[in-house]
A and B are shown apart, each in its own frame.
Chain A
Amino acid sequence: MAFPIAQRGLLAALILAGVASAVSGSIDPYFLDVVMGVGVSVVLASSLNLINGFTGQFSLGHAGFMALGAYTSAMLSTVVAPRLGWSPALLQWVFFPFSLLVGGLLAAAAGLAVGAPSLRLKGDYLAIVTLGFGEIIRVILQNVDAVGGARGLTGVPTHTNLFWTFGSAALTVYTVWALLNSTHGRGFLAVADDEVAAEAMGLDTTRYKITAFGIGSFFAGIAGGLKGYLNPGGFSFDKSIEIVVMVILGGMGRHAGVVFAAILLTLLPEGLRELGSRSVPNPFGGAAWSLEWIKDMRMILYSLLLILLMLMRPQGLFHRGERRRQRT
């Protein structure tokens, strides 16, 4: 079959996700949870990369869109799904993707609503508006009893599996990649590089910004739906920051770099946790040295690492040379 390379990559990723999902029964549940978390992070980081990296906007509210998608699909699963009387397989393979899609569309609608003010606001002001929007969503979710209030939604049936998380991750990366490499997609880069020049060339910069917000939020909504457990605290400002850090460490506007950074930053805390439960043999004989302290220190190490990286490699971990002209 004459598929272009990117489509082949997507197909291979989907097949791989399907195979991995088929054998997932024999994987340790904790490990499976971590691996699925990686998939969700990839979706989040790649979609934010479209907004913050490629289009040059600055959103600090990605967690808010994620929350919208998460609650929508969870409500569909708890309220609508039981009334259908479908078999578990049908729920997992037909209803779940449908609920993800609805969650994504709702988040996209919200993204479009936030994209509209971005016509007038730039830089820090845009950042604070998106931050405010994310916080508003969280506070509302925390106070509406129908969705569990501050306790969060409990008893949500989990339909997430490796296929859906990695399939979505592959689809997100592919969509962002294909979009940026289309004729239409060059416009996003132009908006990021020099908005005034782009406008002078006859590009509708407004439309590009809004499109970026819409598509980015759509995938954030899907990522929310993929996350199994829900409490409003999980969608706070800190979560948005975490995603922004992934995008920046990956090198803003790099496809592979951001995916790697998402994987790395999701595995790093888990890796340090694991390391903390081990001990190293004492070279001088005697009792082995416990690495217990790492458990306490892992968040400190994480933040120190972040600062050191910014001081030494501010262009991101995976940035090779200059691809685009730096703006002054």
Chain B
Amino acid sequence: MKHLPVVALILLFAAVPWIVPVPFFLHLVIMVLMWTVLGAAWNILGGFAGQVSFGHATFLGAGAYTTMILYLKLGLAPWYGIVAGGIVAALIALPIGFICFRLRGPYFALSTLAVAEIVRLVALNWESLTAGPVGLLITTLPEISFFGTPVNWESKTPFYYIGLAIALGALLVTAVMSRTRMGAYLLAIREDIDTAEAIGINTVRVRVAALSLSAMLAGAAGGFYAMYLRYIDPDAVFSISLSVEMVFIAVVGGLTTVFGPLIGAIFLVTLGETFREHFLVGHLIFYGVFMMVAIRYMPEGIWGKLRLLTGLRH
């Protein structure tokens, strides 16, 4: 019974392509789902562990390029590529974590920004692997049938369900993690890192693990991005604006909550699209004003605020 609202929500999302078979609307919801994953990824590190990263595009890009390159060079289907993208991003996070977590607070945040720029420049210049600024393009996706019906890659529906599966996975990972010892340790690190060390928590290892888990989700979202949009270049997937957008979604939705990233993504993606439609020039101004109002009046985020008002746990 406790899970009834969650089950209802999942069914509602699953029914969206039948209820509203409008390509633009489906595209919007697909973007919401992708950004939910990215927000959830950032939330694990920035929300639970309190370690602010301004470089999460690194992992999105790593996942996107992994998926692209594996498909274009080795013919590995992108749905496996999404998994591989998550794994590669998680592995890349390990050395980054062991180096950057020697730093604390704002210095860590700055180091993530620096790493992201380095990675972007590497991707831009390593032309034999990434084709540099030209970017990579998928012309056709492999043919596959689902329960006997061939999948139509020109429709939005298959992408919608893949995105939904990844987003549900990301929220599930957050929910499970928040109940384990690892989740408890992340909160301890967020609250006071010296005290956490003093009670026997290996704070470097726990933070690296959180970064790696976070990177895995961002990498999977990146793989999905590559498969869905079928074109990537370094400025599209490694840009700072993507990293910042992840921060916004996690913060506006509600840090340290399970559903916060979903709420944040719903608000910011729809607002972004609406403003873009109505104000061709300067739509970012309205976006910025919304951000300021949201952070000023709901520092705990939209979902965080609702959770306080209703006494819900997640």
A binds B: no
